[in-house]
Amino acid sequence: MTAAMTVVALPAMAQRVCIESETNGRIVCGRVINDARYNNRDDDRTIDRYGNRDRDVNNFDERFYLTAYPDVKAAVARGQFRDGYAHYQKAGRFEGRFPRFNEASYLAKNPDVAEAVRRRSIRSGYEHWVKVGRFENRQL
């Protein structure tokens, strides 16, 4: 079963939120789609998944980005990029990399973690990722 709805998440942009669940009600996928068809504008090329324009990434988490993407950390160490933010602007955003931890995405891709959070055996997906998930190469 798939449900889709359009919500206004940002003043100038409507976003479509799709939630897919199995018959038992367990959510298996949740995603936000920026789509110019809903905006009557050609923003898809200049706005990332968070609604940030080319040089306007708010709350970029350098530590998270370099920890989550060791290949980027190595590229920065080699001098290919000034920092993780420079990589995100030039390549990472187009590769679908997250500029900061995305709790909803992590829980949707790791249902066992979502269940642990629901049972309150762990506080959040982020806590799991920091302590265990990154070492298990969990999907973000």
Model-wide pTM > 0.85: no
Strands 27-34 and 2-10: unpaired
Task: Please name the residues in contact with 74: beta carbons below 8 A apart, sequence gap of 6 or more.
Answer: none
Tens digit of pLDDT at every position of the chain (140 positions): 444 443 334 333 333 333 444 444 444 444 444 444 444 444 444 444 445 444 455 678 898 899 989 999 999 999 999 999 999 999 998 988 888 888 888 999 999 999 999 999 999 998 998 899 989 988 88
Judged on CB neighbours under 10 Å (0-12, 13-18, 19+), 109 is middle
Where exactly are the structural domains of the chain? Answer: 62-135
